[in-house]
Structure 1
Amino acid sequence: MRGIDVQAWLRGLDFTAPTRLVQNAPRLSHLPRQLLAGACCVFTFAAHAACPPSAIASLEKPGMGLRNGIDRGMLWRIEKDGRTSWLYGTIHIGRGDWVRPGPTIQKALAQSDTLALELDSRDEATAKTMSQPADPDLLARVLSGERARRLERQTSEACVPPGTLSKLPPILQVTALAGLVARADGLYPEFGVDETLAVSARNSNKPIVALESAAEQLKVLTGGTEVEEAEQVDAALDELESGKLRGQMKELADVWARSDAARLTRYAEWCDCLNTPAEQRLMKRLLDDRNPGLADGIERLHAGGKSVFAAVGALHMIGPQGLPTLMAARGFTVTPVLTDAQAQTAQPMPALAAPSPGPRSARGGKAVKGQRGQKGAAVAKGGKGAKSTKAAPAQKGGAKAPAKAAPRGAASARPAAHTTAAKTKVRR
């Protein structure tokens, strides 16, 4: 579901009932800690050949480190009252090689006092709301007849065990299925950017603040009435059945990965998701109506003396009601940092070569093999002062020019000569 942190709502659901445990699953200690954030179907293979692999099984080499993360997504710096905070547009699904933030994102997060997310799925009140079963009478009224059969077919096609979602509110059932549809393209809620940032913050003991509550998000999704909720369920089922939603999510993920803010700004032109009054009302509720509250929370944290790294869905950043525009209207200086299309590839971290031993000192003043002709290298010669391996040109008056400074890490000529002379004197 666009604009909603799907991973937060999927946390705690058990999708593993009809599947078998991976026999040779990698040890947890060998995986990047960010990969351990996902709760659903992480260490399982789908029982049916048509089912997509689990998140961990989708990785070619689980646990393989990356030399550096790649900067993805959209980032703005916002400044006011002598403090700097950040707006980071995220995506709530991701690929395995996206779990490590790029250097720009890492630096901005490290410089911040607080990570602000739409929801903190580890918060007790949030978890309680998310796990609250729906009213059975509501389920019977909304999910009946053909709508119930359509939902059952989509649940089966998503390889979700029967009954896994049945106690959730109807809109959350289709939201969960929407979050799983992009697995066929290698995009998983387990690798959602918001959750990987949360894991990174917890590992560094950085406070996490939720800008919204689960109850507020649920109200936005349902629309407040059974009629509107049923309308949204039908629209979501239409998108799932047509395959349109999968294409939209893949395109959105590609745009996000390129940091292509210009194309994201034109989202309404290519998403094919604002064709009906119902779709337009939903998009307004999911984005424009929520943005002022998100901006209030960010401003409040910043005014309280905090440097805030605010990470929310990228679609909250676009348009006249987008967060960069709202923060500028509140007196912040807003500067784009990552908003241009990028084409980058993460490189595997090479194995570290064993350190080679340093050159041994030569006896009798002979140069060590491989050092001949090296400028500024001091070589001890008998008990006399050290000389450069390459003669320096003579200055006027016949005096020799001082030897060039030795490279960093090499011994200078004068200390070497002094040490050698001292040793010779002791021997005498």
Structure 2
Amino acid sequence: MLRYLPVIFALLISWSANSMEMSVPTAVTAAEPTQAQPVPRRGALYRVRHEGRTSYLFGTIHVGKQGFFPLEPEVTRALADSSSLVLELDTRAYEPFQQALTKYGTYPAGESITRHLTPAALAKLERALAKANISLRSVENYRPWLVANILVGTEIEKHGYHRSNGVEGYLLTAAMQQKKPVRELETADFQLSLFASLDDRQQEQYLLENLDELENGKAVRKSAGLIDAWSNADAGQIAALARELTSGDTVSATFMDRTLLRKRNPAMTAHIEAIMRTDKVAFVGIGLLHLVGSDSIPELLRRRGYDVEQMY
């Protein structure tokens, strides 16, 4: 049950492969595509230069389809030419993620979600769980934000998007084949602690907003739209969907904008700077939305004097 996460937040949070029972897509080392099978550009790729050092930023998604691989030659060459792979998290690690998920995603023994929701919200949740063939008992120890993620993730997976086809798995397999070290920008404890910043009222509202979007189809439309924009490297559509996802006064939009993006981007930027001072060439794979907007990581690096070139 814990392997599910809404695709929108899966674009921003790296979750452990082992705890999600996922496999990784087969990595293919840098190779030119054949004329019969051209490999399209996907995501967004930046080259970052500073004081004689070069690194790459690549916008990833943590879910996808097997047909998204191999990645195109500009990406695979950049990875092959790099001395290290840098990810938000090394998603192969099981214990740190599981400990953090228990700490922030579940109630203490004896507690239940039924005690933390209003009767109206609980009734709406029970209807949604019944529709998804999930028993309330199986999730009653989970906090509302996690239950919302389970329900939306279940629906998105029905449309063919799976964590087993996340980009991190592909990059990690390639890095292992190329014997590159893997570095992390964050910890599982930090990432999942972000959800603990939501109080009971906000978590209930977050749950209700996601249940509403399940009912009206917006959950699938927004998630699939952003993944499809990534799969075509459609910068205009990526930017438009990013604005939609972070605009408005809903708990979900505010949480994404202020916490999942604006709170994390400066710290990740500083960490990338530190890595560039020590690694000859770093390939940084990071959630796509961290590379979009006026306070994105590329913009923060530019403000700090880095030469940042968007390759596509």
TM-score band, normalised by shorter chain:
0.7 to 0.9
Alignment of 1:361-376 (within 5 A): none
Alpha carbons 1:115, 1:209 under 8 Å: kept: yes
**Structure 2 gaps, min length 5:** 1-5, 29-35
Q: Which moved more, 1:192-201 or 1:99-108?
A: 192-201
Query: Displacement of 1:252 after TM fit?
Result: 0.7
CA displacement, residues 40-98 of structure 1 (integer Å, 9 cap, x when unaligned): xxxxxxxxxxxxxxxxxxxxxxxxxx956433110000011211111111122211111
Q: Could you tell me whether the CA contact under 8 Å between 2:42 and 2:232 is conserved in 1?
A: yes
CA distance in 2, matches of 1:12, 1:128: 10
User: Aligned pair 1:106/2:113, yes or no?
Assistant: no
Of the structure 1 ranges 76-85 and 95-104, higher mean CA displacement relative to structure 2 is found in: 95-104
In the other structure, the counterpart of 1:281 is 254
Which amino acid in structure 2 is aligned with residue 130 of structure 1?
L
Distance 1:307 1:248 in 2: 35
Contact conserved, 1:222 with 1:229, CA < 8 A, in 2?
no
**Once the 2 structures are TM-superposed, how far is the Cα of residue 265 of structure 1 from its aligned partner?**
2.0
Whole-angstrom distance in 2 between the partners of 1:112 and 1:252: 28
Distance 1:231 1:105 in 2: 40
TM-score by length of 2: 0.81
Stretch of structure 1 that moved more, 277-286 or 236-245: 277-286
Asked if the contact 2:84–2:279 (Cα under 8 Å) also holds between the matched residues in 1, the reply is no
- For 1:11 and 1:177, the matched residues in 2 are separated by 20
Name the CA distance, whole Å, in 2 between partners of 1:69 and 1:164.
Answer: 42
CA distance 1:183–1:138, shift in 2 (3 Å): closer
- RMSD in angstroms over aligned alpha carbons? 3.0
Q: How does 1:58-97 map to 2 (within 5 A)?
A: 69-97=39-67
Aligned to 1:414: none
1:168 shift after superposition: 3.6
Q: Which has the higher helix share?
A: 2
Deviation at 1:34, TM superposition (A): 5.2
CA distance in 2, matches of 1:161, 1:198: 35
SS at structure 2 position matched to 1:87: strand
- 2:271 equivalent to 1:301: no
**In structure 2, C-alpha distance between the alignment counterparts of 1:193 and 1:12, rounded to whole Å:** 17
Question: Whole-Å Cα distance in 2 between the matches of residues 279 and 145 of structure 1?
Answer: 21
Corresponding residue for residue 351 of structure 1: none
How many residue pairs end up in the alignment?
Answer: 293
* TM-score normalized by the length of structure 1: 0.61
Change in CA separation of 1:151 and 1:307 when aligned onto 2, cut-off 3 Å: farther
- For residues 367-406 of structure 1, the aligned pairs below 5 Å read none
Asked if structure 1 preserves the Cα contact closer than 8 Å seen for 2:14 and 2:88, the reply is no
- The 3 A distance-change label for structure 1 pair 163 and 197 is farther
| Structure 1: 5+ residue stretches without partners | 16-27, 36-65, 339-428
Work out the CA distance in 1 between the residues paired with 2:70 and 2:135: 31
Counterpart of 2:254, as a letter, is R
Matched-pair contact (CA < 8 Å) for 1:328–1:334: yes
Q: Determine which structure has greater relative contact order: mean sequence separation of CA pairs < 8 Å that are 6+ residues apart, divided by chain length.
A: 2
**Aligned twin of 2:97:** 126
Superposed, which structure 2 residues align to 1:6-85 within 5 Å? 8=15, 11-13=18-20, 33=26, 69-85=39-55
Q: Is the 8 A contact 1:180 1:189 kept in 2?
A: no
